[in-house]
Amino acid sequence: MSDLRTFLQEEASHVWRPDGPVGLVQEITALQQALDARQQYPVIEIAQPRGADGAVGNIPVVCNLTASRELTARALGVQDHRDFAATYAQRTANPIPPIAVARDAAPVQQIVLQGEEANLFDLPILTQHTMDPGPYLTAAHATTYDPDSGVDNTAIQRCWVKEPRRMSYYPYPASHNTRNLRKFWGKGEACPVVFWIGHHPKVLLGTQAKLAYPESHWSACGGLLGEPLKLVPSITHGDKIMVPADAEIVIEGWAPANVWEADGPFGEYTGYMGAQVAAPVCEVTCITRREKAIYHDYGSGHADMLVPDNMVMEGKIYGMMKPIAPSVRRVHVPVSGRRFHAYVSFENPGIGEVRDALMAALAYRRTKAIVAVDDDIDIFSDSDIMFALATRVQWQRDVITASGLQGSLMDPSIPRGAKTVEKAGIDATLAPSEVPGAPRPVAPRNSVSQDALDAAIARLTGIDTKGWPEL
Amino acid sequence: MTDDNITRLRAHSPPGEKRGAVSWVQCGSCAEWFHVTEDIITRGTVDLHCPHCHTEFLPPEAKKIVLA
């Protein structure tokens, strides 16, 4: 069985528990920002979250759960994070359907709070950034269903908690949850919705699988778990919306038809504040949770949220490219590029193969620029990518650009009024050998012998280098 | 909705010139600025929420609106 607490046990030596109270208003996020700057990514567990009113709550906050590539890969049993893409693509291509369990076997329904008893402000909800207008749920997985097929959909959606039983939430306009919402609203009906929080990263990563519509994420979660995900009927919507039985917290309710409220500004994955938008609201009917629930928060725009989402993108891109280009080795969607950039390494690609692969992956809505390199380049090093761009690219020959494609309208660089984006694929591989057995017709890289390098490293070992000038 | 408080930026950019895509509202209460989508303005029925002073108001009550 895998849930949030089993993961915290598995990674117990990588969990940091700061002493004393830590404020929910920006203080926890500031810790993440400071750790990001130091390139250190422990899981953070705040036992004493302090609210804006100074009161210390008794539900702990966990964040940075998946800020580390190493920990996130290990959650799936992948020992080398660089191999994550292939494993994710393979496992989500082999889904395992979920199973239903009885309510008494569902820890998430140990406590059921309905009506006046349900109060969102009892949860330790963070206000992350300076211009956020209030506290936001950031790890709330919104589950709705398609009224035509009955098939559910799950996606992370930010929720601005405004009243004890009312919050706005923002399903991206192109999302499957928005399609479901509009179908209910088109009939003049409120849209049933639940938001669940807290589970093992295998389940969290499964919910981010990029699927067709309508297609449930539960089976992708099962593929990553290696066993069926346990679900239980929600209290409000019964088996119309099932929820993960081993989650920590569930918020149930309805989105009343055609009711819009202001939502945002909100600190986004782009690293910029997203604009205030008109968003649906959820009128909360019920909150269920474990007896000793743990509240999970994603630091929006920080490695905490970028790493798991980007690693899922790596799996998607690998799955799109590999059937077209067998020489694809690894994929990296770097935090430095938010979600816009992808680096892909190839092992001796045939002529035309790299460009075919670039064309395929540019169709993926989330990509904006994809850089293809040979496998002597470390795609997990931005510096190595810059080296390849500097020495292996002639811009007119090696760059494929395409405009009018679907992409993120949160990209701050898009032109005024644009509804689509411009993308680029960059072939930064070296020219291939044209004579069997002969070297590629390009200059070899500078190098020293391995013996000389080993000796140099040995000579430097143990020397106090503190204070030496940096680059 | 009257347009008295709205400035509309030029719709098109000459080739090679960068022009931003973000719309801004100046709160009628605290005079601070915050950014919004054009959609929430043109709906005309959704109260804007100033993230600085938390005043809620419809677009005609904004001090200024700059639509990109």
B3 to chain A, minimum CA–CA distance in Å? 19
The mean predicted confidence, pLDDT, of chain A is 96
B20 to chain A, minimum CA–CA distance in Å? 6
Q: DSSP labels for A26-81?
A: THHHHHHHHHHHTT---EEEESSEE-TTSPBPSS-EEE-TT--HHHHHHHTT-SSG
Which of A276, A277, A281, A420 should we substitute to test contact with B (largest number of B Cβ atoms within 10 Å)? A276
Chain B CB contacts of A417 below 8 Å: 11-12, 21
Question: Is A25's Cβ below 8 Å from some Cβ in B?
Answer: no
CB pairs under 8 A between A and B: 62
pLDDT band at B1 (very low <50, low <70, confident <90, very high): very low
What is the pLDDT, as a whole number, of residue B37?
A: 95
The pTM of the full predicted model, rounded to 2 decimals, is 0.93
Q: Tell me which residue of B29, B30, B36 sits closest to B6, measured CA to CA.
A: B36
From the list B21, B22, B47, the residue facing A262 with the nearest CB is: B47
Token digits for A326? 């067998």
Q: Determine which helix (DSSP H) or strand (DSSP E) holds A372, and give its type and residue range.
A: strand A369-374
Distance, in Å, from the CA atom of B3 to the CA atom of B60, rounded to the nearest integer, reads: 7
Question: Is A45's Cβ below 8 Å from some Cβ in B?
Answer: no
Contacts of A450 (CB under 8 A, 6+ apart): none
The answer to whether residue A409 scores a pLDDT higher than 90 is no
Give pLDDT tens digits for A189-221: 999 999 999 999 999 999 999 889 999 999 999
pLDDT band at B4 (very low <50, low <70, confident <90, very high): confident
- The owner of tokens 């391995």 is A450
pLDDT band at B66 (very low <50, low <70, confident <90, very high): very high
Chain B CB contacts of A412 below 8 Å: 21-22
pLDDT band at B2 (very low <50, low <70, confident <90, very high): low
What is the pLDDT, as a whole number, of residue A5?
A: 97
The mean predicted confidence, pLDDT, of chain B is 92
Which of B8, B23, B49, B65 should we substitute to test contact with A (largest number of A Cβ atoms within 10 Å)? B49
pLDDT band at A174 (very low <50, low <70, confident <90, very high): confident
Chain A CB contacts of B51 below 8 Å: 131-133, 265, 276
Chain A CB contacts of B9 below 8 Å: 416
Which of A25, A161, A408, A416 should we substitute to test contact with B (largest number of B Cβ atoms within 10 Å)? A416
8 A C-beta contact, residue A154 and residue A143: yes
Across the beta sheet with A399-405, the strand order is A328-332, A341-346, A369-374, A421-427, A399-405
Distance, in Å, from the CA atom of A185 to the CA atom of A179, rounded to the nearest integer, reads: 10
Name the DSSP letter for residue A149.
T
Helix, strand, coil content of chain A in percent (nearest 5): 30, 25, 45
CB contact under 8 A, A416 and B20: yes
Segment A24-43 mean pLDDT: 96
Question: Is A213's Cβ below 8 Å from some Cβ in B?
Answer: no
CB contact under 8 A, A278 and B37: yes
B34 to chain A, minimum CA–CA distance in Å? 8
The answer to whether residue A377 scores a pLDDT higher than 60 is yes
